Chains A and B, each alone.
Chain A
């Protein structure tokens, strides 16, 4: 079955963008309509005689198409659950469900349109003024106002889409594919290098596709075809149609959105050929559906094959307005009159209109339009004479085409840093002070001679408020001429203040149809030159962007250790540690506590193996290596013996603790330094930074990824390691606690450190990353008979807390100094990076201290960051806390006030739900105070 062609469709060749061979259907407000592939929501509705697309923001007035320029507030619709879609930009797919926005009841009969009748009670700044007092009034009214004034609804059940990002590079990027843009692209292409043309329409050509430049109506298409033919012959031009440049950032970095993809385009040169936008005329009821820009009527006819009306009035102040009249006549539309604000119109287009017997009224404007849901006629007025305006006449019509002036689209130029200067001769702004390698061409730069005579004489007569109002300056925010006049009278006469107080240009179209008239009105109200008013600031994005485009696809890098897959095979629950993934514990989530307790018990009674490959690892070599580390770290390393490891603590120059690790002296001039997983980058950076000042003879290599590492800990660990390491004497006497040895595990070369983070006999074994999994397997095999179990980060947290070891970044914060954690170096250490700060801290004293605590009651386990309370005030906070099976109690670390820090003193912690729990300061460590187990 074929659907009959809608009554408003024109026959081919009108409708360059639509494919009559591909019919489709969509619904609007539940009604089913036919359309063609290539139709936008706006064009298809126009083809079906639907002219009300939305209700306005404040007065709920019916609104429809004005510009079809892709930046209107009044054509926002909901498409398939996605709100705020531009009707003139969304190309229909079969089955699309389209809904209007911002109305109660039905779009045709908005129950809130009564608000329009009370317009004079809603003055500009109404919300600021009316709800300012009494206190709390705004909070009461806000939900009602938000509901009345919303812009679309978010559907939480809407389908998720796939969005992505891509990078593009070009010698020259041209924004805008009209005559000027294509000319610039061709010139650039001849110079060589890749040229990219970005245009928001489905086909290149810009205004050449729809504007009428000559009486015959041929010139635009001929010029376009000639340009496109030359373009087709050049091999180095890439065309991006239906793509929109949303931002022009530093060094020609362009954000280009095309569908669901964000292109980040870097260009050596940018040419902005963004063209100009037509501007509205100000008269009463100038917002009625059926009142459109002349260019919008031409787009409907030529691009979409839609007859925009049956009887038209053309209001113009320039020659192209007569081109509009000719296009209307050619489309079979009766042109009731052409009203020209100029006293003496002339030119070939004017002559052609006269030749077709259309009445032309010079020196005539529209003072008012009539109609309720669609324009029914206009009241004209003659300019000049003693009263300024002559006697009115009424003309019946269902279409008004307004062609009274252009505003160049300089948003991107302004983003790039251009200053916009008003040029009184052309009535337009032009860009000045453009940064290097950005140029503006064509109409955006004041134009060519193509539209000569397009100076806006409009300004002279458009700016008088209509006595009965409803002469809208800003369609987004329903601002009338009087609103702008009142705003200036209220003292908000600076354009930036005016914009914010009146909300002029703050709606979705961002002032593209209102900014110029607002500036002119402000100038008139202040009695100043338009040039003196200035412009508001243009910021990206050019139009609304969806969150999906901004979020894009996640591409966070994740690092896996060499043993990653062994952990997965063993059933590990993995957790993020910086960019790394680490095993939290081994076993099912439902039995996490039991799994962690089992791992803790294995380490304390037999042995455990933990993957510590994520540790930061740095090689420091050179004659000055010991001196360098001694200056950088708060701990002492100058006289550190070869073959020994030392705990190392780093501060910044302000004395705050920044990292810790172990420094191993492998030779007189060779140190191996470990750092925290997430801190190593900053440690390496600090090393380079400080040695740029000190110029010591050293070399720093960041080797974190080069080594896999495990910590084998527990009473059985020595026996297990003996089984696989034959060339290092592991006996306590020859390899004591904090010793370092080079050797082999099976036949893999290894650095073995006797360190004790968990408080048992332990060996930290570093091997080349490629051998990590092999060594892990050999150790697990060797340990199986002795009860060796892998353990994860959670068990390690318990074990280290039992030993009272701190974790930098968890038990310290950005201000923690060495005295607060009881680790200030002795007087034998004259200088290190934080020495002066430490001296200042000593002088001034400290106000808090990190202490261990226990809780005897089993009622509650405080969490990290629960507060220590004293006298109703915050006295500190908990940094670590666990229930320790080994200690048989809840243990933890907390910052407390100094007088609370003595062992045996008790203090109060406020836990979840506001309950207060008593804790007692306990000496550290909680476990094995003599360190006999780890030294064994």
Chain B
């Protein structure tokens, strides 16, 4: 079983977490159905680095994970608002 390093709880078995999907820009409330449909249904599903929402289920602690979908390697984890998130681009896709 993989270990995920939670920014709040430290290294824990990955069965204690749930992935809530890729970090995407939220459409404006009045952005219209097309923009919202894209947000809800269209996944980029990149082969490579992806930035995702994860939550530690036991504590409901929500944080951000950079992961490589090709190797399932967890590259880094960040608390929400971590300044590193702006420094490291969430660039996805194959190199």
- Chain B residue contacts of A251, Cβ below 8 A: 1-3
Known: A689-B20, A692-B80. A836 touches B32 (CB 8 A): yes
- Closest Cβ of chain B to A850, distance in Å, is 23
The distance in angstroms between the C-alpha atoms of A550 and B18, with both chains bound, is 24
CB-CB nearest in chain B for A839: B33
- Additional 16 contacts, C-beta under 8 A, given A653-B36, A685-B18: A251-B2, A253-B1, A653-B39, A654-B40, A685-B55, A688-B60, A688-B62, A692-B53, A692-B62, A830-B30, A831-B29, A831-B30, A836-B31, A837-B33, A837-B36, A843-B33
- Closest Cβ of chain B to A623, distance in Å, is 19
B37 contacts partner chain A, Cβ-Cβ < 8 Å: yes
The distance in angstroms between the C-alpha atoms of A689 and B36, with both chains bound, is 17
Residues of B within 8 A of A (CB): 1-3, 18, 20, 26-27, 29-33, 35-37, 39-41, 53, 55, 57, 60, 62, 72, 80
The count of chain A contact residues (Cβ–Cβ below 8 Å) is 22
- Chain B residue contacts of A253, Cβ below 8 A: 1-2
CB of A830 within 8 A of CB of B2, answer no
23 A-B residue pairings within 8 Å (CB atoms) = A250-B2, A250-B72, A251-B1, A251-B3, A653-B36, A681-B57, A684-B60, A685-B20, A685-B60, A688-B55, A689-B55, A689-B62, A692-B62, A692-B80, A693-B26, A830-B30, A831-B30, A835-B29, A836-B31, A836-B37, A837-B40, A840-B36, A840-B37
* The one of B18, B36, B60 that contacts A836, using a Cβ cutoff of 8 Å: B36
The distance in angstroms between the C-alpha atoms of A685 and B61, with both chains bound, is 9
CB-CB nearest in chain A for B61: A688
Per-residue contact bits, chain A 220-254, to B (CB 8 Å; 1 contact, 0 not): 00000000000000000000000000000111010
Per-residue contact bits, chain A 676-707, to B (CB 8 Å; 1 contact, 0 not): 00000100110011001100000000100000
- Closest Cβ of chain B to A120, distance in Å, is 48
- Chain A residue contacts of B72, Cβ below 8 A: 250
- Closest Cβ of chain B to A550, distance in Å, is 15
- Closest Cβ of chain A to B3, distance in Å, is 5
CB-CB nearest in chain B for A840: B33
Q: Main SS of chain A's interface residues?
A: helix
The distance in angstroms between the C-alpha atoms of A815 and B33, with both chains bound, is 17
- Chain A residue contacts of B41, Cβ below 8 A: 654
- Chain B residue contacts of A692, Cβ below 8 A: 53, 62, 80
CB-CB nearest in chain A for B37: A840
The distance in angstroms between the C-alpha atoms of A835 and B26, with both chains bound, is 14
* The one of A250, A693, A702 that contacts B1, using a Cβ cutoff of 8 Å: A250
Q: Which 4 A-B pairs have the closest CB atoms?
A: A836-B36, A831-B29, A250-B2, A840-B33
- Closest Cβ of chain B to A702, distance in Å, is 7
Known: A689-B62, A692-B62. A836 touches B1 (CB 8 A): no
- Closest Cβ of chain B to A289, distance in Å, is 43
The distance in angstroms between the C-alpha atoms of A250 and B41, with both chains bound, is 30
Task: Please indicate which of the listed interface residues A681, A689, A843 has the most CB atoms of chain B within 10 Å of its own CB.
Answer: A689
- Chain B residue contacts of A840, Cβ below 8 A: 33, 36-37
CB of A653 within 8 A of CB of B57, answer no
CB-CB nearest in chain B for A654: B40
Task: Please indicate which of the listed interface residues B18, B30, B33, B72 has the most CB atoms of chain A within 10 Å of its own CB.
Answer: B33
The distance in angstroms between the C-alpha atoms of A535 and B1, with both chains bound, is 25
Task: Please indicate which of the listed interface residues B40, B41, B57 has the most CB atoms of chain A within 10 Å of its own CB.
Answer: B40
CB of A830 within 8 A of CB of B29, answer yes
